[in-house]
Amino acid sequence: MNLETFAAAVTGRLIVSCQAPDGHPLRDTAALVRMAEAAAGGGAAAIRCGGVGGTPDVAAIAAAVDVPVIGLTKDGAGGVFITPTVEAARSVVRAGAQVVAADATFRPRPDGRPLTETIKAVHDEGALFMADVAALDEGVAAAEAGADMVATTLAGYTAPGPPPDGPDLALVRALREELPGALIVAEGRYHAPASASAAIEAGASCVVVGTAIIDPRWITARFAAALPPR
C-alpha cells in the first residue's frame, strides 16, 4: 500500500489500537482478533496491533480484517520498546502489516543502529513507517529521515513519573504547524469521543484510540469509580 492510498483511507477518521498488556485477561491473540473485528465493524479505518503479542497478533488480525493494519512489537517497557530494532520492524512487515509503528524518539536504540536503517528496512519490505514520538523535534527529525507519518504515541511516556491524564493536543498543534503537509497521527490517552474530535480540530490527520475502546477492565473501573460512595 502506498502512502497516498493509506492517507486517503485514514484521513479524518478513527484508528483503533487492539493490544493488551501481559497479565491482562484479554492478552490472547484470538480475543484481540475479535476486538479488531468489532472495531472494524464499528467504523475503524485501520487497526493498530501487535504489542506484547508481537507478530502472531499482527498476522492473525491482518488475516481477519479488511482495513489496513499498523503493526508493532513491544520488547519490555523501559527505554525504546516499540518495535525497537531493524529486525523487529522487518518481522512486523512479514507478518502482514501495511504500516510499521516504531519508536522514533532520540533515545538510544537497543540494536545501536540509527532510525534511518529501520525506516529503510521497512520501505525495502514494501511497507510504510509510522514514527512514534514524544516531542516536536523528534517528529520533525523523523519526517526528515523519511518517516511516512508521525504519531504522538509516546508523548508523556518518556519522562519519569506517571503520564498526564489527558492527551497531548499541544504536540498535535505544534507538529501540524511545523509539518503542514504531513500525515500527523494523534495517539495516546484519547479517552472520549470529544477529545478524539478535538485532535482532528487541532490538526491531526487521524486519531488512534486504544484503551477507551478495547479495555473493559479500564472502562469498568471508570464506571465503578464514578458511583457515589456507599
Which residues form the interface with ligand LRY (CB under 6 A)?
A: 17, 19, 51, 72, 82, 153-154, 157, 187-190, 208-212
Closest approach of Cβ 212 to ligand LRY, in Å? 6
Please check whether residue 100 is in contact with residue 123, taking contact to mean a CB–CB distance below 8 angstroms.
Answer: no
Please check whether residue 179 is in contact with residue 150, taking contact to mean a CB–CB distance below 8 angstroms.
Answer: yes
Closest to ligand LRY by CB, 130 vs 181, is 130
For residue 93, give the C-alpha cell: 512487515
Closest approach of Cβ 226 to ligand LRY, in Å? 19
Q: For residues 6 and 156, give the distance between their C-alpha atoms in angstroms, rounded to a whole number.
A: 27
Closest to ligand LRY by CB, 139 vs 188, is 188
Helix (H, G, I), strand (E, B) or coil at 164: coil
Closest to ligand LRY by CB, 124 vs 216, is 216
Q: For residues 15 and 167, give the distance between their C-alpha atoms in angstroms, rounded to a whole number.
A: 15
Closest to ligand LRY by CB, 193 vs 227, is 193
Closest approach of Cβ 210 to ligand LRY, in Å? 3
Closest to ligand LRY by CB, 143 vs 188, is 188
Residue 10, amino acid: V
Q: Which residue is nearest to ligand LRY (CB)?
A: 210
Closest approach of Cβ 215 to ligand LRY, in Å? 7
Closest approach of Cβ 80 to ligand LRY, in Å? 11
Residue 219, amino acid: I
Distance (Å) of CA 41 to CA 38, 63, 209, 216: 5, 15, 15, 18
